[in-house]
Amino acid sequence: MDPIHSQQQRQQPQVQQGFQTNFNCYEAFPATSPPESQFFNPNPQGFQQTSTNSGIDVNEMNYIPVNDPNQQQNQSQAQPNQPYYYYQPQTSQNQPSISNGSFTYQPSMRSIPNHQIPGIPHPPSLPEHMDSHMMQQIPHGAMIPSNHQQKRKEIYRYLAPHELYSCSWSVRPDSKFRLAVGSFIEEYNNKISIVQLKEDHGDFATVCTFDHPYPSTKIMFIPDPKGVHPDLLATTGDYLRLWKLGGHNGASLEVMLNNNRTSDYCAPLTSSDWNETDLSLIGTSSIDTTCTIWQIETGQAIGNTARAIEGTVKTQLIAHDKEVYDIAFSKLATGREIFASVGADGSVRMFDLRHMEYSTIVFEEPNRKPLLRLAWNKADHNYLATFARASNEVYILDVRVPSMPIATLQNHSASISGIAWAPHSPVHICTAGDDSQALIWDLHNMPRPIEDPILAYAAGGAINHVDWSNIYTDWISICYGRSLELLRV
């Protein structure tokens, strides 16, 4: 028997005892298990009804294209062909609006050029084709082609047999539109599925599904766009696990790492991040107030070694006064040493692996509410975003000006559940929440107030995860209920 699998079986009783039955590493996060009645909103706010035709046959009940006619019969409104519409803020009756086909927007939402703002350096303006793609309009009266004619669909949906909680995009060049999704089942046995969009057919295929103890709080493919290293997947829950994809079973557990080396008790891990500059580093956050940086030996994709993956603790530190809910590496400096974390004490803290004797408190939530997630700007590394529990506000922070947010995004009507920066633009960010809304914001005007998003999408239920693809930069993924949706922006 594989020694790792036998070790996992021996530790299962201790794991189950140490892992709280009330799933306390998830309880801080919103929208983890919405009631079934909330999965589908038959009349999402802001969408104009669009009729579509479809001739696609669906062979698998778990793979339901958005425009599937059988699915439409069970729904009172078909999904629109264009996922995002121009956001319509509440205005007085005297304020004029402009209408163009399927989109309506206010004069205040017109595209504004990138002007240099004194005191804050900005990168060059976005290419013209990029702005026009994100703010694409459908001409009035234009015919919407059927699915046989329409090669570029705007929304794809995968319907899982269980609740979904986590999701990750693969960046390997040989695996286009491949994602990993994790279940949220309130028991020990959960699932990880690798799914891949077959764009020519308009639906998803399941590459493999394997068991995972407890729901995965974070899933990450190895950030290896050149495909040099083995095809690895990292998951967190009770332990940090590394899985090697491929082979007869689809996935095999390569290593299971416990950050508590002196006890059988494992404090649940709330999140993780894989360093994109140094692939040997993975950081994890835990409810035991610590962050752990792991040194991973991933091996090369050459030769055949029986055990090519090993992991050791590079450093472990008490990062916060209370539970730590998220960790993320920054590309500041060399892109290897600096990371930030957020937690139940309501603070954002920065650490440097070269100077672990101290940390920098970048921001403290005014009411000391727990901060749940953070995300670094992928193009301008001085900025990061975070949000608090049970809050409809997203804070945009400049680490060069600590303590005060330079912008606050406030248009959600319910709690925020996820944030994702555009990988190709320093001034666009997507936020998602329990109000079923995914909003895209333009931050050109910082530090002046950002009042409204530029684009919005109404999902069929409370969104609990959002991710912007690093390589397919005009695609965003969201999870709600049992659905994974890919949205073209």
Q: What is the pLDDT of residue 72?
A: 38
139 located within any domain: no
Task: Answer whether residue 7 shows pLDDT above 80.
Answer: no
Mean pLDDT for the stretch of residues 363-370:
96
pLDDT at 195 over 80: yes
261 compared with 456, residue with greater pLDDT:
456
When mean pLDDT is compared across 209-218, 263-272, 287-296, 414-423, the lowest value belongs to: 263-272
pLDDT score, position 367: 94
Identify whether 427 is part of a domain: yes
Predicted confidence at residue 189, as pLDDT, reads 96
- Find the mean pLDDT for residues 269-296: 94
Q: Is position 464 within any domain?
A: yes
Q: What is the CATH number of the domain that holds 177?
A: 2.130.10.10
Structural domain count, the chain = 1
Give a yes or no: residue 100 inside a domain. Answer: no
Contact 160, 183 (CB under 8 A): yes
Residue with tokens 């983890």: 32
464 pLDDT tier (thresholds 50, 70, 90): very high
Nearest to 256 by CA among 273, 238, 274: 238
Determine contact, residues 349/319, Cβ cutoff 8 Å.
Answer: yes
- pLDDT confidence of residue 130: 36
Taking CA 120 as the corner, what is the angle to CA 114 and CA 124, rounded to the nearest 5 degrees?
A: 35
pLDDT at 448: 85
User: Residue length, the chain?
Assistant: 489
- The full 3-state SS of the chain, as one line of letters, equals CCHHHHHHHHHHHHHHHHCCCCCCCCCCCCCCCCCHHHCCCCCCCCCCCCCCCCCCCCCCCCCCCCCCHHHHHCCCCCCCCCCCEECCCCCCCCCCCEEECCEEECHHHCCCCCCCECCECCCCCCCHHHHHHHCCCCCCCCCCCCCCCCCCCCEEEEECCCCEEEEEECCCCCCCCEEEEEECCCCCEEEEEEEEEECCCCEEEEEEEEEEECCCCEEEECCCCCCCCCCEEEEECCCEEEEEECCCCCEEEEEEECCCCCCCCCCCEEEEEECCCCCCEEEEEECCCEEEEEEEECCCCCCCCCCCCEEEEEEEEECCCCCEEEEEECCCCCCCCEEEEEECCCEEEEEECCCCCCCEEEEECCCCCCEEEEEECCCCCCEEEEEECCCCCEEEEECCCCCCCCEEECCCCCCEEEEEECCCCCCEEEEEECCCEEEEEECCCCCCCCCCCCEEEECCCCEEEEEECCCCCCEEEEEECCEEEEEEC
How far is 295 from 298, CA to CA, in rounded Å? 9
Question: Is there a domain that residue 48 lies in?
Answer: no
Q: How confident is the model at residue 107 (pLDDT cuts 50, 70, 90)?
A: very low
Given this model, what pLDDT does residue 190 score? 98
pLDDT for 27 beyond 60: no
Domain for residue 239, yes or no?
yes
Indicate whether 220 belongs to any domain.
yes
Domain-embedded: residue 286: yes
pLDDT bucket at 32, cuts 50 / 70 / 90: very low
The domain of 157 spans: 3-18+28-35+150-488
